[in-house]
Structure 1
Amino acid sequence: MSADRIDKLLQDIRLLNEDHYALVQALREQILKLDKGVTEEVKYGGLLFSVNKPFCGVFSYAKHVTLEFGLGASLPDKYKMLEGEGKYRRHIKLTSQQDIEDKHVHAYLLLAMKAAQQA
């Protein structure tokens, strides 16, 4: 995906909310470090991350940032952080960078990436 589109989306987020921008950047850094094959693209108004198949997305809303998992309903939820009641999707709402650690984001990212690779 075009780096220009990613940069434009990030600039827009930064203009609207500096804290959300910092949170999105912290999430991006963690996601992109998971595997050298992780790619990102602008889709559905946010950033979609894939390793051959999509496994998560990061979206900035007015009051929070969400980390969304397309196959989230099938993920083990050991820490009881996943929200949503749809057939497939689940998400984690984040309001601060501390939430990344407090809500065990890394563990969920690994589970989601593995699930997408096996699907």
Structure 2
Amino acid sequence: MDKNKEVTEFIKNAEKEQQNLLTVLRDLIIKAVPEAREQFKWSRPVYATDKDFCYLKTAKNHINLGFFNFEKVEDPEGFLGGTGKQMRHIKISTKEDIKAEVFTKMLQQAAVF
């Protein structure tokens, strides 16, 4: 996957505490779904295969790893939050919140259409 320049700038301009988390999440998405396209839409990084499947969004005290195709994602540990009909997300505040193995499976499931 080619890294999108706008996403790189988005990460660079984020709060210091969030820059590292965004970088780790970006790398996790790229590794989990190497065929994905990295885009910058709706003022945030968005990743797509045939369709958009996940996004990263900053908030004051956390980052959302969001899923567009959440109904295809197995979530036995109950990480997904939100009540949206089309999107759900995982709130990530610290590096310890990133469960690489579990998130990798979730990303791979969401990326399949």
TM-score, with normalisation over the residues of structure 2?
A: 0.86
Q: C-alpha distance in 1, partners of 2:22/2:48?
A: 16
Q: 1:36 to 1:20 in 2, by over 3 A?
A: same
Aligned residues: 112
Computed over aligned residues only, the root mean square deviation of the Cα atoms, in angstroms, reads 2.2
Distance 2:80 2:101 in 1: 9
Which residue in the other structure is 2:35 paired with? 37
Structure showing greater radius of gyration is: 1
Distance, in Å, in 2 between the alignment partners of 1:45 and 1:103 is 28
Segments of 5+ residues of structure 1 without an aligned counterpart are none
User: Of 55, 74, 77, which residue of structure 2 is paired with 1:76?
Assistant: 74
- Paired with 1:69 and 1:103, the residues of 2 have a C-alpha distance of 16
Match of 1:11 in 2: 12
Check 1:77–1:36 CA distance in 2 against 1; reply closer, same or farther (3 A cut).
closer
Q: 1:102 to 1:39 in 2, by over 3 A?
A: closer
- Share of identical aligned residues, percent? 23
Counterpart-to-counterpart distance in 2, 1:63 and 1:111: 27
Q: Secondary structure at the match of 1:87?
A: coil
When normalised by structure 1's length, the TM-score is 0.82
Relative contact order, higher structure (CA 8 A, sep 6+): 2
Q: 1:99 to 1:52 in 2, by over 3 A?
A: same
Q: How does 1:99-110 map to 2 (within 5 A)?
A: 99-101=97-99, 104-110=102-108
The 3 A distance-change label for structure 1 pair 21 and 88 is: same
Higher share of residues assigned helix: 1
Q: In the alignment, does 2:83 pair up with 1:85?
A: yes
Alpha-carbon distance in 2 for matches of 1:78, 1:23: 23
